[in-house]
Amino acid sequence: MESKIDKAIDAFNEGFNCAQAIFSTYGTDLGIDKDTALKISSGFGGGMARMQETCGALTGAYMVVGMKYGKIQADDKVSHEKTYKIINEMTSRFKEWNKTTLCKELLGQDLNTDEGKLFIQENGLFNTVCLKCVRDAAKLVEEF
């Protein structure tokens, strides 16, 4: 039987962005259908719409945490704090493994320049760096 981590990697390899790979894999266990999960997370790849901010795989994991523990009542401080605590712990662990959460620093290139795109493609960084980030984010979801 294929693990959820493998399913997230498969989704990424099929052409979904890093955030979609995580959120569509785990969101379905939390009551959201796959198509909706893919749509919600579609703008988060490449560190938020290729702005190369927080890694999309990690933001996909944050969405999963929100689906599981997020507050639905304005005054629910317990759920709010639990969600933030888990996200902070996930972020710390991701940084331990990857030194940063920033997509631009993870890739070491700018996705928005022709030179950066070419370097990323020629060096297979989507298949190495990004794939590792998807795997790491999936492991964090599994752990937390």
pLDDT band (50, 70, 90) for residue 59 = very high
Count the Cβ atoms, other than its own, within 10 Å of residue 21.
32
Say how far residue 53 (Cα) sits from the centre of its chain.
12
Compute the average pLDDT of residues 133-137. Answer: 98
pLDDT of 2 above 90: no
Compute the average pLDDT of residues 1-8. Answer: 91
Compute the average pLDDT of residues 38-42. Answer: 98
Buried b (16+ CB within 10 A) or exposed e, 34-73: eeebbebbeebbbbbebebbbbbbbbbbbbbbbbbbeeee
The neighbouring-strand residues paired with 54 are 102
pLDDT of 3 above 80: yes
Q: What is the mean pLDDT of the chain?
A: 97
Total count of residues recorded for the chain? 144
